[in-house]
Amino acid sequence: MKIEEALHMVGGAGENSYASNSRLQEKAILRTKDIVEKALTNIYGEVVPESLVVADLGCSSGPNAFLVISQIMGAVIGSKAKEIMFLLNDLPGNDFNTIFQSLSGYEKKFKKEKGDQVLPYYVAGVPGSFYGRLFPANSLHFAHSSYSLMWLSQAPVGLESGGVPLNKGNIYISKTSPPIVSRLYLQQFNRDFSTFLKLRSQELINGGQMVLSFLGRKSSDPSEAEVCHLWGLVAQALNSMVHEGLLKEEKVDTFNMPFYGASTDEVKQVIQSEGSFYLDQMQILESNWDPFDDSINEDQQVFDNVKSGENVAKCIRAVLEPLIVGHFGEAIVDQVFERYAKNVAMHLLKEKTKHVVFILALKTKKVKN
């Protein structure tokens, strides 16, 4: 199954849906507010589009898709914009129907909150991978992407070469992975992020801006990244099921996350060598694994590790379930995430690991004819 078909957030609005389990991503969006406002001010400093065209790349379904709309609508109040077109993009398997059917409810909410200041706005859904072209040339003023660019277009090519899985027992880079695994992951990230920048520079007008936030890592060694634990604990759940004869070992050996947590240097390197954008600003945020743990102290204790384990598992399930089901089938999915919740709980006793989120503001460099 192609990643483009398998990778999407859990649809609908049920208990396991992304819509109900996306607080982590919500927090990241809220924390980009100032950067988004500055980017929009910059756009209006250079060009004066009466109709501002904004793309949200990897919009998902559920409240976060609307949070982005709401944030941008708030940011342009008082500017020269007269109307806004929002182009909400995600992979074709994303639940666009749920977004579209919830729009009128959100519209009422905006109008109640912001009254007459709300500009006329239009919404379209754009299905497709952002590693391909999505929009006509020079048609966007502002592109936004939150919690999406750590997803690769595919698991690195070469991890399964000649029928021999190189990353046995793992589903992502780990301390036990041979060095070539990290190299293949980095190569895939470089290709994908570079493609992303090139395509967006074609779609953005001269003077257009982007604000991107995605998971990264603080360490230069990719096997020491915080996300290695995140996926390592999923691998641990899968391996325990292999051990008990519930899953075939080769199924785990051939499953590799289409995901990469880059370092700041790796990100800057791609931006520079691709060459279409200036990096205007880069911030690093940290966010507790448990989306409901808002404590900001540096202390290494998690208050209730069992509850936090369950919270993390729910949040990861809303994102990972379609990929797990695509590779392993429907039957095992409940068990995987039950075991995962316990593994996370155990891990949090040892270390209050955090997500590392990069926020980038980028400006088009090109000079157009």
**Residues in contact with a copy of itself by the rule CB under 8 A:** 50-51, 53, 82-83, 85, 87, 92-97, 100-101, 103-104, 120, 122-128, 133-139
3-state secondary structure of 300: coil
Dihedral class, residue 187 (left if φ above 0, else alpha if ψ from -120 to 50, else beta): alpha
The encoded tokens of residue 329 equal 């089938």
The encoded tokens of residue 241 equal 């099921």
Choice between 33 and 108, CB closer to a copy of itself = 108
The answer to whether residues 180 and 250 touch, using CB atoms and an 8 Å cutoff, is no
Question: What's the min distance (Å) between Cβ of 213 and a copy of itself?
Answer: 23
Sequence-ordered alpha helix ranges (H) in the chain:
3-6, 23-30, 33-46, 63-76, 96-114, 179-203, 226-243, 249-253, 264-274, 305-328, 333-350
Query: Of 247, 263, 271, whose CA–CA distance to 363 is shortest?
Result: 271
Question: What's the min distance (Å) between Cβ of 126 and a copy of itself?
Answer: 5
Choice between 53 and 228, CB closer to a copy of itself = 53
Question: What's the min distance (Å) between Cβ of 128 and a copy of itself?
Answer: 8
Choice between 33 and 111, CB closer to a copy of itself = 111
Question: What's the min distance (Å) between Cβ of 87 and a copy of itself?
Answer: 6
Choice between 126 and 333, CB closer to a copy of itself = 126
The answer to whether residues 260 and 191 touch, using CB atoms and an 8 Å cutoff, is no
Distant-in-sequence contacts of 176-182, Cβ < 8 A, 24+ apart: 177/223, 181/156, 182/222, 182/223
The encoded tokens of residue 209 equal 């801006």
Find where tokens 């003023």 sit.
Answer: 141
Query: Of 232, 192, 184, whose CA–CA distance to 212 is shortest?
Result: 192
Query: Of 312, 343, 260, 219, whose CA–CA distance to 3 is shortest?
Result: 260
Distances (CA, A) of 287 to 118, 183, 290, 354: 31, 27, 8, 5
Choice between 99 and 233, CB closer to a copy of itself = 99
Question: What's the min distance (Å) between Cβ of 293 and a copy of itself?
Answer: 34
Dihedral class, residue 79 (left if φ above 0, else alpha if ψ from -120 to 50, else beta): beta
Choice between 53 and 72, CB closer to a copy of itself = 53
Question: What's the min distance (Å) between Cβ of 56 and a copy of itself?
Answer: 12
Question: What's the min distance (Å) between Cβ of 211 and a copy of itself?
Answer: 21
Choice between 92 and 179, CB closer to a copy of itself = 92
Question: What's the min distance (Å) between Cβ of 125 and a copy of itself?
Answer: 4
Choice between 203 and 310, CB closer to a copy of itself = 203
Question: What's the min distance (Å) between Cβ of 84 and a copy of itself?
Answer: 8
Residue 128 backbone dihedrals phi, psi, to 5 degrees: 150, 160
Question: What's the min distance (Å) between Cβ of 16 and a copy of itself?
Answer: 18
Amino acid at 243: H
Choice between 120 and 178, CB closer to a copy of itself = 120
Q: What is the CA radius of gyration of the chain?
A: 20
